Amino acid sequence: MRILVTGGAGFIGSNFVSYTLKKHPDDRIIVLDALTYAGNLENFDKEIWNNPNFQFFHGNITDEKLVKELMRNVDAVVHFAAETHVDRSIREAGTFLETDIWGTYILLDSARLAGIERFVHISTDEVYGEAEDHASVEGDDLKPKSPYAASKTGADRLAWSYWTTYELPVTISRCSNNYGPFQYPEKLIPLFVTNAMEDKPLPVYGHGKNTRDWIYVLDHCSAIDALMRSDGDKVNGEVFNVSSEHELSVLDITGIILKALGKPESLINHVEDRPGHVIRHAVDPSKINKVLGWKPEYGFVENIEKTIDWYRNNETWWRNLKEKQAEYKEWIKAQYGKG
Ligand code: NAD
Ligand code: TYD
């Protein structure tokens, strides 16, 4: 299979690239990535760069000419590229609309014209908004609460419309919060792990009782792999939640990180709450289990520890971002008021 992976230099995309090259050594992967602040060529190791089945293109998914050219040489698309940080979308939503909606349109339309055989659209559980009295199921109303979530909802429904209108074989994953190696240190887990290692405060928004449903990134990758390779009659035009059903609050996660690193609770700093902060995200993965037999492989306790160890053992990776990347420093100053 020849696969175009958009956003492949980001957190989940780069994990997916290395997962796929190992699991399907005969597949060819073309990554298209704009290398925004979140894209990082250091997310690919030497083995990947030396793999003749891996190709990297630096470019934007809104570049129609380039996208059309790349589509001619692939059978399938996995579309990760997006602006992804809720807090950034609250400060500036325009780039989210441009990449997450317009960029998705360019990809879908080019895929339609090229006759792509499978288009896996990576959506998110954020599209549901609050999971109030039950873990969200695929038929629930979509009530996104942030500009990020609203942009992803637009993209999710646009992708579906390309199935209903043009029969482009689209399948959509809505996964919960991922954790693992190579996550940009603006998101909760890598920010708190690396801050704790540096004895810096951990900025908990509001009371910290908001919960998320945590999944190890390689479990998300195996679900995408299943969506890529299943029969069309099972997945085309379908939405699948992906989760490993580990709901924990921000304070729970903070406690786990402090304990694992042997750091004091005095590092916890309650700061102003995020506007529109979702109280609970949780998704029910019964459908993907029933239809495709997919199950998560990784438990939470071992893998959060493994993840913390990864940041401990890969200081150069995150210090290059935290200490050398101008966009990172600017973001931390704007959001948390410190340089
Ligand atoms: P990330 O921010 O780490 O990576 C995004 C990647 O997309 C970066 O490499 C960036 O350079 C690239 N990109 C951004 N704009 C682009 C553009 N216009 N053209 C080409 N490339 C561009 O994100 P992530 O956490 O890896 O998330 C990947 C996808 O998974 C996103 O679509 C996100 O909505 C979805 N998702 C993420 C999570 C999560 O917990 N991280 C959960 C569910 C779904
Ligand atoms: P985040 O990693 O931004 O993911 P999302 O908002 O997409 O779920 O945030 C996860 C949770 O952590 C969310 O409840 C907000 C909270 N949080 C903080 O309390 N402080 C922070 O500095 C960050 C980045 C997140």
Which of 136, 151, 250, 251 for mutating ligand 2's site (highest number of atoms within 8 Å of CB)?
Answer: 250
| Domains observed in the chain | 2-179+214-242 (3.40.50.720), 188-211+248-281+301-336 (3.90.25.10)
211 lines ligand 2 (CB under 6 A): no
Tell me the sheet residues that pair with 248. Answer: 212
Cα distance between residue 297 and residue 294, in whole Å: 9
Cα distance between residue 44 and residue 169, in whole Å: 29
Global pTM reads: 0.98
Which are the contacts of 140, defined by CB distance < 8 A and separation ≥ 6? 128
177 lines ligand 2 (CB under 6 A): yes
Kindly report the backbone phi and psi dihedral angles of residue 170, in degrees, each rounded to the nearest multiple of 5, phi listed first.
-95, 140
CA nearest to 241, candidates 227, 255, 252:
227
Tell me the sheet residues that pair with 241. Answer: 174
Q: What is the mean pLDDT of residues 224-236?
A: 98
Predicted confidence band of residue 339 (pLDDT cuts 50, 70, 90) = very low
Give the ligand at the shortest distance from the Cα of 210: 2
**C-alpha of residue 136 to centroid of ligand 1, in Å:** 22
* Residue range 104-139, pLDDT digits in tens: 999 999 999 999 999 999 999 999 999 999 999 999
Q: What is the mean pLDDT of residues 50-57?
A: 98
250 lines ligand 2 (CB under 6 A): yes
* Residue range 151-168, pLDDT digits in tens: 999 999 999 999 999 999
3-state secondary structure of 19: helix
Q: Is the pLDDT of residue 261 over 50?
A: yes
Looking at the chain, the whole-number percentage of residues with pLDDT higher than 90 is 99
Q: What is the mean pLDDT of residues 267-282?
A: 98
188 lines ligand 2 (CB under 6 A): yes
Give the ligand at the shortest distance from the Cα of 84: 1
CA nearest to 224, candidates 161, 175, 163:
175
Cα distance between residue 54 and residue 257, in whole Å: 35
* Residue range 16-48, pLDDT digits in tens: 999 999 999 999 999 999 999 999 999 999 999
Predicted local confidence at residue 137, as pLDDT: 98
Q: Does residue 248 contact residue 97 with C-beta atoms inside 8 Å?
A: no
Q: What is the mean pLDDT of residues 99-103?
A: 98
Predicted local confidence at residue 264, as pLDDT: 98
Residue 81: both structure tokens together: 């590229």
Give the ligand at the shortest distance from the Cα of 176: 1
Q: Is the pLDDT of residue 338 over 70?
A: no
191 lines ligand 2 (CB under 6 A): yes
Atom of ligand 2 at shortest distance to CA of 148?
7
With tokens 């479990």, the residue in question is: 219
What does pLDDT average to over the chain?
A: 98
**C-alpha of residue 265 to centroid of ligand 1, in Å:** 32
Residue 164: both structure tokens together: 């209903």
Catalytic residue IDs: 125-126, 148
